[in-house]
Structure 1
């Protein structure tokens, strides 16, 4: 293939040759092989702000404008469009949380009060998780900074660091409540409203709570008729029932172990070793993180409260479940040391980078499932690892992936450049 370091030659080659159908954008990106950063500006006068993310629409610029003589000034490259106060009273803005819709029409910000370490236990809250008196998710119109809507969580805990507790897919936003073990699914309407779609946790279907309450009332009424109001040892529904998502999880694990053996005796022994022996461990699992795989499926990470509080989670046990929101069923379950899940991640990494099918975003993200150079780098790391099982755990510790954590920049395209991700 024709290739030269001379930009003029490449432009001439582009004029006389037509790229193959569907490759014009990739051909255009190859010009970045000749347009690489070659100079670093130090000591730039910068305002006292925190910068976390840029939208992928870039900035309009005049191609005829040369580099300003005062290139060290921040204003040479950026123009302030507006200032919008978000935090109120005792709230602070979360400086490393920001999500934007692919249309670049709306942006999502967050504010919260100070963290309360020794939070008092309330109904439905799990122990060992800190609390925030108020967490607010703000929806802004990026064009002018107008605040359209907000979603408030009271006495709750959402991990907002680097968007870990929230995942945006198309117009759907998933927010994980660590304290109350609930996945809130919100929809961003075209009108600019944040609408509650469903809450997955204690209940999985919209009418689960109504059904359980009506059944409890019916059972209570029958007891009054039989015993004329005498006290029954009816278990409290708040304490006797596992959450809906935990019920689904335990049922799936039981059926998977049940189907491993056809002999009844072996089946019972297998259930004793793999299910009943670890039953309490499964019951104690908590939801740590979630991401969309598509509009109907969620990848949920389960672990202990200690995993959520620890910085180094590579060596700690964790589990991953694929959950169908429409059928409310668990369709797959893996441990973080499972070779099966690692092979799926290695071969189909792009499917874990959930983005809209209408977006060209993923066309420019290099991964070990779409780029031979990235795959060779991964295999080299795997061959150098002292323990394959520890390497698998380390690779799977990044799941579920953080939303909008990958950049489509040509300088990160491993078809064009070779680089070390660590530096």
Structure 2
């Protein structure tokens, strides 16, 4: 029975960890569950720090990377811990004056100027161009056969691959030879011009050989509500120059793949121990249950699928491996904060991190901005969060138009 009970007392958890052995292969999970008791408990608001753009903690947690506002300098810090001593119990005393300073938590290691003398930092070499031609010798082949004349109406190579795949897929859908022509007229030729007018909206690498391409109409690419427009997702093999599969943005089959193989759509580096524990609905039953709950509440399943598919293909984003984003340990509002590193609209109220094991217990709160709240509620404010991979340490950064940036430090006192 002792193995199923997890105390809410930190000292008791440390004592249990000394005497209780986890199941084979579950050591890391046991360590991460320890963060239920080891949470940020104190916030220093509007800390005195340099006017830099703080980007992220490195995967090993040893460094904090920042850039100058003009992006001409790279600054690297090493996280340290605020230390002070008292004659009596420290919890009853206020923090010392130097706690308000950024250098009490981070030590600057170096600052490097980037391209200070207009030198090249790097150069990009075009290896392959996919569009009008799919192979390197396609253009040479057309010229050698006298087909590449001025004013020719040849479709681009990628569009020919797309039309060919749709034709063959439609052809195989109807086994009856007598009805196959009518089926082609209804499903393919009737929409032929719509297929021809499709353009590439977005592309993502799935691996070194496959591209995940989103096709859509010209009008749909410039509207804000892209989930309302018809779009197609294609998996393209660059080596064979073939379309491997094709789905509409309302396809339940594509959504099922997205639900069960999310990590393949949003590839994360696996060279770090901490990066392997980024929660998603393909590796966490808690995240999957949360996603399915949202889907069940949706008024229309088709519209929900379109809304979820609107974010595909994903842009390159970094994700925090912090245990405080582990959905098997904590629950939080993903509209306000998540492991994905991006700017979000700031909220007036603190963001709550609730225990999964005890649904009515708020373990800690994160509040960006000043302690007194916003002086002008009409001003547009955005916030971002940087969580350390394993320390109970986080930065919240609030930016307001025409106002100085507010940086808060959240840590365990």
Say if 1:306 and 1:38 are closer, same or farther in 2 by CA, change over 3 A. Answer: farther
TM superposition shift of 1:362? 5.4
Q: 2:179 aligns to what? A: 266
| 1:251 shift after superposition | 0.8
Distance 1:303 1:74, change over 3 A: farther
Q: 1:392 to 1:207 in 2, by over 3 A?
A: same
Which residues of 2 match residues 280-299 of structure 1 at below 5 A?
280-299=193-212
**CA 1:209–1:34: 2 relative to 1, 3 Å:** same
Q: 1:149 aligns with which of 122, 125, 133?
A: 122
When residues 80 and 29 of structure 1 are mapped into structure 2, their CA distance, relative to the original with a 3 A threshold, is same
| Distance across 2 between alignment mates of 1:244 and 1:284 | 14
Matched pairs, number: 307
Q: Does 1:214 align with 2:144?
A: yes
1:82 is paired with a residue whose SS is strand
Structure 2, unaligned runs of 5 or more: 64-77, 85-94, 337-413
Partners of 1:9 and 1:388 in 2: how far apart?
47
The residue matched to 2:214 in structure 1 has which SS?
A: strand
Q: How does 1:248-397 map to 2 (within 5 A)?
A: 248-356=161-269, 358=271, 360=273, 363-397=276-310
Tell me if the contact between 1:292 and 1:354 (Cα under 8 Å) persists in the aligned partners. no
Aligned partner of 1:28 in structure 2 is 31
| Partner Cα distance (1:386, 1:64) in 2 | 50
The offset of 1:272, in angstroms, is 1.3
Q: Whole-Å Cα distance in 2 between the matches of residues 403 and 343 of structure 1?
A: 22
Deviation of 1:69 (Å): 4.2
Q: What SS does the aligned partner of 1:249 have? A: helix
1:381 Cα offset (Å): 1.1
Query: Matched residue of 1:400: which SS?
Result: coil
Structure 1 gap ranges (5+): 90-145, 152-194, 220-233
Of the three residues 93, 99, 124, the one matched with 1:71 is 99
The residue aligned with 1:5 is: 8
Cα offset, 1:374, TM superposition:
1.4
Q: What corresponds to 2:342 in structure 1?
A: none
**Coordinate RMSD, CA, aligned:** 2.8
Contact 1:248 1:330 in 2 (8 A): yes
